[in-house]
Every structure is written in C-alpha cells, then in structure tokens.
Amino acid sequence: MELTDVRYELQLSESRNAIWIHSCIDGSTVGRFGRMGIDLHNTATEQMAGMPECRMCTHGKPSHTDWQLFRDKALEWWGVMVPEDAFDPRLLRLDE
C-alpha cells in the first residue's frame, strides 16, 4: 500500500474539548488532542508491521504551542487540516 493511498477521518467533539484522527484503512485512531495532552500514533497496521505505537505523545494539560504542534503534525503526517477553532482555547494552559 502506498502512503498516498491512506485516508484519514477527522472527528471533532461538539463541545470542542477533544479531536480525533482515524485511519479509514484499518479504523485505528492515530491522533487525539484533548485536555490531558496529545497522542500521535502509527496505525494499527503499521504497529503490527513493527513500528512503535507512539510517534509523539504528551501527558498533562496542553498549551497553545501544543495545539499548534498537533495541527502541524496532522497536516504533515496525514494531510489532515484541523481547524484552528476546533478546540476551545480556554482549555489550554498559557505557554511559559
């Protein structure tokens, strides 16, 4: 399977407190952004082929910088454009 064949689905929480990115090929969740941090993973298929689970994960309340990083990596790695207003900025901690 060519990387260009892979398709992804963006799922947005109606309350703007979480975002998920799913692989349409194998149904795995490859991205999650929420009040407890960032999870950016390889697909289940990639993991079964020997790739690690995590590509980039954080734990704890995310910052504005984390939000931008999540959006940048979603676009870079999966071609998914996450709208800037998809997450409520009041839930982000201030950058230090």
Average pLDDT, the chain: 92
Domain membership flag for residue 18: yes
Cβ–Cβ < 8 Å for 52, 59: no
pLDDT tens profile 28-75: 999 999 999 999 999 999 999 999 999 999 999 999 999 999 999 999
The CA-atom distances, in angstroms, between 50 and each of 43, 53, 76, 95 are: 11, 9, 22, 35
pLDDT value of residue 4 = 55
Domain membership flag for residue 96: no
Instruction: Write out the residue range of the structural domain in which residue 53 sits.
Output: 3-76
91 pLDDT exceeds 90? yes
pLDDT value of residue 94 = 87
pLDDT value of residue 95 = 76
Domain membership flag for residue 64: yes
pLDDT value of residue 10 = 96
Domain count, the chain: 1
Cβ–Cβ < 8 Å for 72, 31: no
pTM, full prediction: 0.88
Domain membership flag for residue 19: yes
Domain membership flag for residue 92: no
Domain membership flag for residue 30: yes
pLDDT value of residue 1 = 43
